Chain A
Amino acid sequence: MNVLITGAAGGFGRATANECARLGYNLFLTDLNERGLICLKQGLERQFGVTVAAKACDLTETASFDDLLEFIDENGIRFDMLLNIAGLDHEGAFISRSSDQLASIVALNDVATVRITHSILKRRRTGKPFTIVFMSSLASMFPMPVKATYAASKRFILDLSFALRHELKEQRVNVMALCPGGMVTTEEAVKAIEAQGFWGDITTSPLEIVARKMLRRATAGKSIYIPGIFNRCLAFLGRLVPRSIVAAVVFRRWSATGKNT
């Protein structure tokens, strides 16, 4: 099983890579952070004795992206699974962020994800089923003031995932969307979750368990995975309540935690 993981050097990327390596998958890792990639490659090889290839890439830069594909083709690597983990957010009031920051959210979360998915589908191993996981978010379920661009970019991913799932079914491609609430992936995430106290805790899912279940469900052909019962209830409510009301409620909650600046 040859697996490509984007955003592999981040918190969730590392947990996912560990889980894949434990299952004995061959890994191809990519991330913006080259040092982190080298460290992770070493760690995985030392722990599990698996084959790991790694190449740093800025998926939003055409030249860098082409280099990545060239590297893959030169080495004749073909894939059975694509885990689209890479993503970013610049949380905060829309007007207080720069237009470049806002555009970079869409550039990575949507544009780059579409490009890599298309390119890797063209490089799938022939005659074998193929699996794609899209990293969406619980935020994709609601219009979210203060995370407006991010939530919308994840909504794009969610709809893309459902649509591709049907379009590619005949070609033996499993497509699953992962929609987690909070996860302890970075220093900022730890602080953000702590700042929310009880609510932060209850919407936060354990990294190691999400990584394992994500792989299990994706290979079993599920369409969506929302980790945590509480998060599943929130997602359900999000479908019942009119979107304008949801947006107002979310905005009030952010205002209470002082996030709307």
Chain B
Amino acid sequence: MIQEDTCLKTVVVTGATSGIGLAVARVLAARGFYVIGVGSNQESCDREAYPRPHRLNFIAADLLQQSEVKQVAEEIRVRLVNGELYALINNAGCVRSRYMTTEEGYEHQFALNHLAGFMLTHELMPNLIKAGGRIIMTGSGSHTGAKIMWDDVMMTKRYRPLRAYKQSKLCNMLFAKALNDRYAAHGIRAYVVDPGLVRTNIGNKRTGWLVSLIWSLRKRAGVGPDIPAATYEWLCRENEAPKGFYYYMCKERSFSRQVTAENAERLFALSERLCGISYDRTDKRTEN
């Protein structure tokens, strides 16, 4: 089962202790990748790590906190072979039914679904460039109905849970586009996977009873997380990096017309400001 070409290739999966992330981490480990999973609490990390093979291990970090994103990146770098990271799967995400903020005062869905991945990618970019790596975001077909609310991305005027979620998933698309525009020349490819409707607990964690109830009913129609995991695995496994950027069931899919170079650059600049980082500065450092 283990293929030559996957030996020693390291993949990082966030949100890896449940749902889609766990299925992806397992299938990649089974395929011979060395998988580092990031989970939100130590308990679930321990549960999933034991007694699995050494090719799948976990680090606990709360990616809602920017300090922990930086810290987990450091821990990841220590574990890399030759400093090479073959793939980063920004999968961690959440649903909230009420306006809640991180320590920085950033809205939770925007902060976790978009900013955490934005920041982790920045921290690990030198390692990704070294391996000519791939970056995969967990998106959603629901992004097609969304627009970025540029004057109020944190939705403080009136919080609409579903709108905030859709916006965060549009952010994933725009981020992937910006990465391709900027880093294709460095051998980097960024993708967004639409997992479809999947039976996970995303809508039951820290949401109100109403959202939780609706999600419990809705997810019954969903597929198991192994189905979308196959798409992630395919995107990692293909020797020749697939040329598209938005995939559903290993096939390219059409996406929102909001995904433009202009919006992508605007979000990129805003995200850099909100995270207090600069991709350009890091690139120069890497080149030196």
Contact = CB atoms under 8 A, between A and B. Distances in A.
Tell me if chain B binds chain A: yes
Residue among A11, A19, A39, A209 with the highest chain B CB neighbour number at 10 A: A39
Contact of B159 (A9, A190, A204, A208): A208
A119 interface: no
Contacts of B67: 39
Contacts of A193: 208
B159 A35 contact: no
Contact of A207 (B98, B206, B209): B98
Interface string B79-101: 00000000000000000001111
Interface string A99-137: 000000000000000000000000000000000000000
A15 interface: yes
A53 B105 CA distance: 15
A9 B99 contact: no
Interface string B269-286: 000011110000000000
Contacts of B158: 206, 208-209
Contacts of B98: 184, 204, 206-207
Contact of B103 (A36, A204, A209): A36
A9 B103 contact: yes
Contacts of B156: 15, 18-19, 22, 208, 212
A43 interface: yes
B209 A14 contact: no
Contact of B104 (A11, A42, A206): A42
A161 B155 CA distance: 32
A113 B265 CA distance: 46
A46 interface: yes
B101 A46 contact: no
Contacts of B65: 39
Contacts of B104: 39-40, 42-43, 46
8 contacts: A15-B101, A15-B105, A17-B105, A18-B156, A19-B156, A39-B103, A44-B105, A206-B158
Interface of A: 9, 11, 14-15, 17-19, 22, 35-36, 39-40, 42-44, 46-47, 184, 190, 193-194, 197-198, 201, 204, 206-209, 212
